[in-house]
Amino acid sequence: MNFPAIAKQTYDLLKGQQAFSNISAFIILHLKKISSPTERAKFVHNVVDEFNREVFAHPLVKELSGCKAGCTGCCHTQVSITEDEAELLARIVNDGLKIDRAQLQKQMNAGNKSEDFYKLSYESRKCVFLGSNNLCLVYEDRPSVCRTNAVLGDSSQCSTENGYDEKKTLRLVKTSQSDMAIIGSFQVSNNSGTLALMLGKILLKSSVKKEIFQKKKSISNDFEL
């Protein structure tokens, strides 16, 4: 199980406090009642947005945070997602959104370990959903991790263009509640990992299914002839 590092730190710090552990428990309980993976992903995204809404809308945060549309710092880092989130993203791709499959493969080859991911060049680490205008192509359905963690100060401090420094600490604006919700969703997920690896696996599964379906169809057409 690959937990998002920042949310996991919050979880480890607050899991002993009932008010916070209840949030993870609430998420787990609700997700077990929803049968559709894409609906489960959307449910978690709504909860995370709700917890962050007030703080992100605060005029001081707007003034002091460097996070703005067009900044792509986070989009060259390793993003952890749940299997449900991967299903949601795969559905968008299967519905016709074009992504750079060669780029996805490179990132898949790096696996789940961050040290291998950060050996890739900066360009190769670019998320496959980052559009040519530097905007997220799946903004409404972006993963939980992409919905939280606004940085205080200049956004250039998030850049990993000159390599990733795991000791560098950023001052982040987020809510502990949203982190507890995110960890709840990862705890109940069948699987989780990097965006590339999880998405790639599901796309592969759906293309195999499509191929089998087409083969069966062509066999039954042969029999009809």
In 49-115, beta strands by DSSP E: 80-82
For ligand SF4, the closer CB: 141 or 175: 141
Evaluate whether 12 touches 20 at the Cβ level (below 8 Å): no
In the bound complex, what is the minimum distance in angstroms from residue 173's beta carbon to ligand SF4?
17
For ligand SF4, the closer CB: 80 or 177: 80
For ligand SF4, the closer CB: 75 or 197: 75
Q: Please give the distance of CA 67 from its chain centroid, rounded to a whole number.
A: 17
First-to-last alpha carbon distance for the chain, in angstroms, is: 50
For ligand SF4, the closer CB: 14 or 90: 90
Cα–Cα–Cα angle for 185, 6, 163, nearest 5°? 125
Name the token pair of 97.
């959104």
Which stretch, 30-38, 52-60, 104-112, 140-148, contacts ligand SF4 (CB under 6 A)? 140-148
Residue 49: which of 143, 131, 138 has the closest Cα? 143
Residue 151 makes contact with ligand SF4 by CB under 6 A: no
Which stretch, 41-49, 61-69, 123-131, 206-214, contacts ligand SF4 (CB under 6 A)? 123-131
Which stretches of the chain bind ligand SF4, using CB under 6 A? Answer: 74-75, 79, 127, 129-130, 136, 138, 142-143, 146
